[in-house]
Amino acid sequence: MPSLPAPLSGPPPLPVYKAELTRVVVPGTILWFVAFVVLLFFIDDLRNSDAMIWLWTCMTGWILGLVGLGIYGWQRSAARRGRRGAQTSALG
């Protein structure tokens, strides 16, 4: 007689190093902000050499880092509240 498959229990929890994104996102966001501020001191040189793309790239990296941190915090708070569609991790 064939045995019945075990019921699915869902995916395993994420390892801590993959679930704790603030270790990567916070320093990266800070570095983008620091680079943006440093480039502000050289804005005239950037304009003269048509290199303003560096300033806008740093600003975009900084803003996207902030957006990413906001989404990450939103998902974590939803998971703590037990929301149905929230992503869960090993950190809870």
pTM of the complete model beyond 0.85: no
Q: Is 4 helix (H, G, I), strand (E, B) or coil?
A: coil
Q: Which of 69, 56, 60 is nearest to 27 (CA)?
A: 69
Tell me the CA distances in angstroms from 1 to 5, 7, 8, 58, 76, one per residue in order.
Answer: 13, 18, 21, 64, 46
User: What does each of the 92 residues of the chain score in pLDDT, given as a tens digit?
Assistant: 666 666 666 667 767 776 677 788 899 999 999 999 999 999 999 899 988 999 999 999 999 999 999 988 888 788 777 776 666 554 54
Distance CA 20, CA 62 (A): 19
As given in the structure block, the two tokens for residue 15 are 């390892």
